[in-house]
């Protein structure tokens, strides 16, 4: 049963990757037509089209599909593409020597390594602003409908994504992460500090992904609240499983360097509580995600399996 469920999730993830990557390619082609310098465009393509799980877009589209069917999922495609642009920008900047100094991402050289630091900075800037352009725009590609969202819905999504990505969200979480690593502040991070850091740095965008799918589908206030609760819980589970992979995974399978977090003294649940306690927190987060989906019945099975998948992640 678990294997069948994982198959359901991985099939959905692969479908999402195809749909979103095709949509992203259209947007990048359009950026080239409108005058983006070739080197900048090449670095943006390297950042956003060089593989990846497309987990956040999966949550957007599956939640929209759950609450509004195929039409709602089609209308949410640009929301998913915008979120992936924003996520890619964050990775490009996180990988820079001044931050995490990573040379490998998704099994390939990071953008600064493949190009140079200044190009990577500008590629990240460009992807961030492109994300909001996509989300705010009416949609212009007939091949994949994306213009069905009312202006008020798009405005709401812009505001929610900005909050998730900004100083009290992802960017603030990265600040807390780097303060712990580079300044030793706090000197002894506790579990509360780590939970706050991870809820901001990683959890905020994942929570937004699930919430955005519900908003795009015109879900009720209760459905949107349940979607956000699910997103917050699976965001925590995703980050804990990521921390565990840094300890238990291998570079070839994970697609990036492993063992760095503990070596650099990063504030993670594994570091402050140990592997077994982290596994217990992971199980509790998955249980919370499943509980949030209970009102949706069997139709939410793809999202359930996305949560259960975090228990045995290998990459």
Q: What is the mean pLDDT of the chain?
A: 90
Query: In the predicted model, is pLDDT for residue 72 greater than 80?
Result: yes
| pLDDT tens-digit map of 208-252 | 999 999 999 999 999 999 999 999 999 999 999 988 988 875 555
Q: Domains of the chain: which residue ranges?
A: 2-312
Query: In the predicted model, is pLDDT for residue 258 greater than 60?
Result: no
- The average pLDDT across 32-43 equals 96
Residue 9's pLDDT is 87
DSSP 23-52: HHHHHHHHHHHTT--HHHHHHHHHHHSS--
Q: Find, among 87, 273, 98, 261, the residue nearest to 180 by Cα.
A: 261
- Provide CB contacts within 8 A for 101, sequence distance 6+: 95
pLDDT category, 93, cuts 50, 70, 90? very high
- The average pLDDT across 58-79 equals 96
- pTM for the predicted model, two decimal places: 0.91
| pLDDT tens-digit map of 162-174 | 999 999 999 999 9
Report the C-alpha gap between 13 and 16 in whole angstroms: 5
Residue 143's pLDDT is 46
| pLDDT tens-digit map of 142-151 | 544 445 799 9
- The average pLDDT across 303-308 equals 96
Residue 39's pLDDT is 98
- The average pLDDT across 27-56 equals 95
Residue 251's pLDDT is 55
Residue 271's pLDDT is 86
- The average pLDDT across 64-91 equals 97
Residue 292's pLDDT is 98
At which residue do the structure tokens 């725009």 appear? 137
Fold of 2-312: Farnesyl Diphosphate Synthase (1.10.600)
């Amino acid at each position: 049963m678990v294997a069948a469920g994982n198959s359901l999730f991985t099939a959905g993830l692969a479908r999402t990757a195809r749909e979103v990557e095709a949509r992203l390619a259209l947007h990048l082609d359009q950026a080239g037509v409108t005058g983006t310098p070739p080197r900048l465009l090449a670095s943006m393509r390297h950042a956003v089209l060089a593989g990846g799980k497309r987990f956040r877009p999966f949550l957007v589209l599956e939640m929209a599909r759950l609450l509004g069917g195929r039409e709602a999922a089609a209308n949410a495609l640009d929301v998913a593409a915008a979120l992936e642009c924003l996520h890619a920008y964050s990775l490009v900047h996180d990988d820079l020597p001044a931050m995490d100094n990573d040379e490998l991402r998704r099994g390939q050289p990071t953008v600064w390594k493949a190009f140079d630091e200044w190009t990577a900075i500008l590629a990240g800037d460009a992807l961030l602003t492109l994300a909001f352009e996509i989300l705010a725009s009416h949609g212009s590609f007939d091949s994949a409908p994306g213009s069905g969202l009312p202006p008020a819905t798009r405005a709401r999504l812009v505001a929610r994504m900005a909050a998730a990505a900004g100083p009290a969200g992802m960017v603030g979480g990265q600040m807390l992460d780097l303060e712990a690593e580079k300044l030793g502040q706090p000197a002894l991070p506790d579990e509360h500090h780590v939970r706050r850091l991870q809820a901001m740095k990683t959890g905020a965008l994942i929570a937004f992904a699930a919430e955005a799918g519900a908003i795009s589908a015109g879900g009720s206030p209760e459905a949107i609240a349940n979607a956000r609760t699910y997103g917050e819980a699976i965001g925590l589970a995703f980050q804990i499983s990521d921390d565990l992979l840094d300890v238990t995974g291998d570079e070839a399978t994970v697609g990036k360097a492993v063992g760095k977090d503990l070596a650099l003294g990063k504030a993670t649940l594994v570091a402050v509580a140990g592997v077994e306690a982290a596994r217990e927190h992971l199980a509790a987060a998955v249980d919370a995600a499943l509980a949030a989906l209970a009102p949706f019945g069997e139709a939410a099975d793809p999202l359930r399996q996305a949560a259960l998948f975090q228990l045995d992640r290998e990459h």
